[in-house]
Chains A and B, each alone.
Chain A
Amino acid sequence: MTPQEIYENLKDKFEESIVSFEEDVADPFIVIATESIADVAQHLAEDEGLAFDFLMCLSGVDLGAKDSNFYVVYHLYSMTHRHKLVLKLVLPKEEEPHVSTVEHIWRTANWHEREAYDLFGVIFDGHSDLRRILLPDDWEGYPMRKDYTEPEFYRGMRVPY
């Protein structure tokens, strides 16, 4: 399916959850309402015409001080139909970012979500094991946020170099 057709399919089912659809870029993407991600993901995986069985990538994004939102981006692929889709969630910075997990749909999301939590502080509700994955358990702050400043010392070791 083309991105346009995928968008039509989603619009039929989730009219009010779709925020916008950007077609005129290299990778067309759909922005959906944050609270609907679990339902939309379920539909994307189970609908026979869509059959998105492969989560290629899940990334947290912070565009810097001039943007007041965090983003979570899902890159999906269908091995059966060989089409792809980019989903985006918008999370306002002023409140703690919360997203429903999609781990029960694509098990690979388990570690990807832990990474996004570790580096961006996005909290995935319903995740079975939301711990830091790359950084030590007692590390403070979320380094991939643009406003992050590293600590002077970590367990007596000087951090900035």
Chain B
Amino acid sequence: MAAPQQDSKFIELKPFTDEMIVSMGPQHPSTHGVLRLELKLDGEIVRDAIPHIGYLHRCFEKHSENLSYQQIIPFTDRMDYIAAMNMNWGFCLAVEELMAAEEGKFPGVPERGEYLRILIGELNRIGSHLLSFGTYGMDIGAFTPFLYAFRDREKILLLFEKICGARLTYNYIRVGGVSRDTPPGFMDEVKEFIDYFEPQIDLYNSLLTANRIFIERTANVAVMDTEMAINYGITGPNLRGAGLQWDLRKDEPYSIYDRFDFDVPVGRDIPEVGVVAGDCWNRYKVRMDEMKESVRIIRQILDSGLPDGPVQAELKAVRPPKGEIFHRSEAPRGELGFYIISDGTPKPVRVKAKSPCFTALSALQELSRGLMVADIIAIIGSIDIVMGEVDR
């Protein structure tokens, strides 16, 4: 029999299938909150991923204009509710710097207050990275790390409950210090937790970090180099994962971070397993290493002990002079900036929160083009967003 004739109508000229639009979210377990992604798919390949945000928008900035400075602090809790202590702290630092612009207006935070702020801030950083580690494992398909992470995060939440009475939205760090001193025996409990927790990090690493399946899913996926990261305004572990040693605690030390000894972990190439600086695996690994550094900082506080004295500065009123300030601090998810304009009245004229997750999410579209649908999950988990902070 003769071979069928080579007719152009039998030859597939267009190897692509039809483009399909899939809406991922807003209620989707791996989008870490209410995020909707409009995916344009060509089979399994993502041609475009357009994020739609704003489902948690509460207009924090408008609220702030109608509240006094102390009343705004609980609102900052509700931005990044995973690391609420660091949100309180970032806002208070900005207000304090604005007040310090006028001579004699702000006496400075007492020593004990500064130490407590760092202790609590680093504990919250561990708690935040634990949640990121646990949920990332779950997104990728490993359920066990999630249970381990939440077990240990619970211990941190219990410590927070003892010191300020709340488990999620603390309102603990105030302008001029912190709201309460430690309850009796608190430092012993912190020591007990740190002694227990330090070896756990190695356990986590053996559980997930070095897992062959996990590496296959995350290595060399969505590589972001430092040039792209800086251009997108990306900060925190996502920037360090790209290989740039940049940490505000080291490079622009605020509070008393310059007295502590710690390293800044960065992403790196590991050719044996195919890991490239700036990929999902490195962004994840930086967080694991940062937990160790936080433990180091807390150990130094435990060794030196908290200095005696008050925890809160004596302030007549929280009423910054006329002026404006932009202050940024290193929250677990990157640089949290507050731009505050004051006209000398008890309420600010304008408060703008520059959220690190907002800028990180804006790079998602470029990161995900040309990858597979399953990689989208790996990217969202690796940039570690909290929608409360994106939408404010």
Measured CA separation A156–B232 after assembly (Å): 39
| Least distance between A78 CB and chain B CB atoms (Å) | 10
Q: Is B358 a contact of A111 with CB atoms below 8 Å?
A: yes
With A59-B339, A61-B341, A134-B391 known as contacts, the answer to whether A108 contacts B57 (CB < 8 A) is: no
Measured CA separation A135–B391 after assembly (Å): 10
Q: Is B354 a contact of A26 with CB atoms below 8 Å?
A: no
Q: Is B362 a contact of A55 with CB atoms below 8 Å?
A: no
Contact string against B for A residues 56-78, beta-carbon threshold 8 Å, 1 for contact and 0 otherwise: 11010111100000000101000
Q: Is A63 a contact of B350 with CB atoms below 8 Å?
A: yes
With A59-B352, A64-B349, A79-B230 known as contacts, the answer to whether A25 contacts B337 (CB < 8 A) is: no
State whether the Cβ of B335 lies closer than 8 Å to any Cβ in chain A: yes
Q: Is A26 a contact of B325 with CB atoms below 8 Å?
A: yes
Given the complex, which residues of B lie within 8 Å of A144, measured CB to CB? 59, 61-62
Which positions 333-392 of chain B face chain A at CB distance < 8 Å?
A: 335, 337, 339, 341, 343, 349-350, 352, 354, 358-359, 361-363, 366, 391-392
- Of all chain A residues, which has the CB nearest B54? A134
| Least distance between A24 CB and chain B CB atoms (Å) | 10
State whether the Cβ of B206 lies closer than 8 Å to any Cβ in chain A: no
Measured CA separation A111–B85 after assembly (Å): 26
- Of all chain B residues, which has the CB nearest A56? B337
| Least distance between B36 CB and chain A CB atoms (Å) | 12
Q: Is B324 a contact of A108 with CB atoms below 8 Å?
A: no
With A75-B337, A133-B54 known as contacts, the answer to whether A57 contacts B352 (CB < 8 A) is: yes
Measured CA separation A26–B359 after assembly (Å): 26
Q: Is A57 a contact of B61 with CB atoms below 8 Å?
A: no
Measured CA separation A144–B392 after assembly (Å): 13
- The 8 Å CB contact of A135, one of B57, B324, B350, is B57
With A61-B350, A64-B349 known as contacts, the answer to whether A26 contacts B101 (CB < 8 A) is: yes
| Least distance between A68 CB and chain B CB atoms (Å) | 15
| Least distance between A117 CB and chain B CB atoms (Å) | 13
Given the complex, which residues of B lie within 8 Å of A119, measured CB to CB? 59, 61
| Residue in A26, A27, A62 with the greatest tally of chain B CB atoms within 10 Å | A26
Q: Is B326 a contact of A27 with CB atoms below 8 Å?
A: yes
Given the complex, which residues of A lie within 8 Å of B325, measured CB to CB? 26-27
Which positions 213-237 of chain B face chain A at CB distance < 8 Å?
A: 230-234
Chain B interface SS verdict (over half): mixed
Measured CA separation A3–B233 after assembly (Å): 22
Measured CA separation A55–B359 after assembly (Å): 10
Q: Is B97 a contact of A26 with CB atoms below 8 Å?
A: yes
Contact string against A for B residues 83-101, beta-carbon threshold 8 Å, 1 for contact and 0 otherwise: 0000000000000011001
Interface residue range, chain B? 35 or more
Q: Is B328 a contact of A133 with CB atoms below 8 Å?
A: no
Q: Is A143 a contact of B362 with CB atoms below 8 Å?
A: no
| Least distance between A126 CB and chain B CB atoms (Å) | 18
| Least distance between A93 CB and chain B CB atoms (Å) | 15
| Least distance between A29 CB and chain B CB atoms (Å) | 8
Given the complex, which residues of A lie within 8 Å of B362, measured CB to CB? 107-108, 110-111
Q: Is A143 a contact of B339 with CB atoms below 8 Å?
A: no
Q: Is A25 a contact of B328 with CB atoms below 8 Å?
A: no
Given the complex, which residues of A lie within 8 Å of B148, measured CB to CB? none
Measured CA separation A56–B234 after assembly (Å): 9
| Least distance between B245 CB and chain A CB atoms (Å) | 11
Which positions 120-137 of chain A face chain B at CB distance < 8 Å?
A: 132-136
Measured CA separation A82–B61 after assembly (Å): 29
Q: Is A134 a contact of B57 with CB atoms below 8 Å?
A: yes
Q: Is B350 a contact of A56 with CB atoms below 8 Å?
A: no
Which positions 39-66 of chain A face chain B at CB distance < 8 Å?
A: 53-57, 59, 61-64
- Of all chain A residues, which has the CB nearest B366? A107
State whether the Cβ of A21 lies closer than 8 Å to any Cβ in chain B: no
Q: Is A135 a contact of B335 with CB atoms below 8 Å?
A: no
- Of all chain B residues, which has the CB nearest A26? B101
| Least distance between A19 CB and chain B CB atoms (Å) | 17
State whether the Cβ of B323 lies closer than 8 Å to any Cβ in chain A: yes
| Least distance between B257 CB and chain A CB atoms (Å) | 17
Measured CA separation A79–B240 after assembly (Å): 13
| Least distance between B100 CB and chain A CB atoms (Å) | 8
Q: Is A54 a contact of B57 with CB atoms below 8 Å?
A: no
- Of all chain B residues, which has the CB nearest A111? B362
Q: Is A107 a contact of B61 with CB atoms below 8 Å?
A: no
Write the residues of chain A forming the contact surface with B, with a CB cutoff of 8 angstroms: 25-27, 53-57, 59, 61-64, 73, 75, 79, 82, 86, 106-108, 110-111, 119, 132-136, 143-144
List 10 A-B pairs, Cβ < 8 Å.
Answer: A26-B101, A26-B323, A26-B324, A57-B326, A57-B354, A63-B341, A108-B231, A108-B359, A111-B362, A144-B62
Write the residues of chain B forming the contact surface with A, with a CB cutoff of 8 angstroms: 53-54, 57, 59, 61-62, 97-98, 101, 230-234, 244, 246, 251, 323-326, 328, 335, 337, 339, 341, 343, 349-350, 352, 354, 358-359, 361-363, 366, 391-392
